[in-house]
Amino acid sequence: MRIPTTLIALAVFFATFASASRCQTAPPTPPLTSAVRGMPACDGLISIIRVSDITASGSMEKFMAAVAAQQAWYARRGYSDVIFATPLVVHDPETGAVSYSDKHVLTYHYIKPGNGGMEPDDDWNAFVEMFADTSMVRATYISCVPKSGAPAAMK
């Protein structure tokens, strides 16, 4: 009985967050490249979390293809970055139904400190364009994740 209650509570939280965030401005973040390169010491992993909305011309499938292209770009260059996306859980207040959103998504990008200096190229521009064609970034957060919270693939 706790799991459905917890899921509903989370869904209400995220639905409230999604509604409230439409009226608020995201906290300012420095340009991403300089923020990651100028990051204070991090005894763990740098994490970039983005909240994105799928646009009318986009789809979750196209967005996930952009995520896969981004992950592949880093892998081809020998980086162990972990990049994945998850749709938000939403609650329909009229029906009470809880489901995964096809319009709101979080992306996670874990980076080892020192993995900088990569220069964008045509392949980089291609996945960035895929994201631009299918979504709009609502907010970006950069943090230091302790080693104990690192994805298993990066430990």
CATH number at residue 98: 3.30.70.100
Question: How many structural domains compose the chain?
Answer: 1
Consecutive sets of 10 residues in the chain, 155 residues long: mean pLDDT of each? 39 41 45 62 92 97 97 92 96 96 96 77 94 96 93 87
- pLDDT given for residue 26 in this prediction: 46
- pLDDT given for residue 4 in this prediction: 38
- pLDDT given for residue 32 in this prediction: 52
pTM over 0.85: no
**For residue 22, which phi and psi values (nearest 5 degrees)?**
-65, -25
- Domain of residue 67 covers 2-154
Which residues in 113-146 are b (16+ Cβ under 10 Å) and which e? Answer: eebeeeeeeeebeebeebbeebbeebebebeebe
**For residue 94, which phi and psi values (nearest 5 degrees)?**
-75, -40
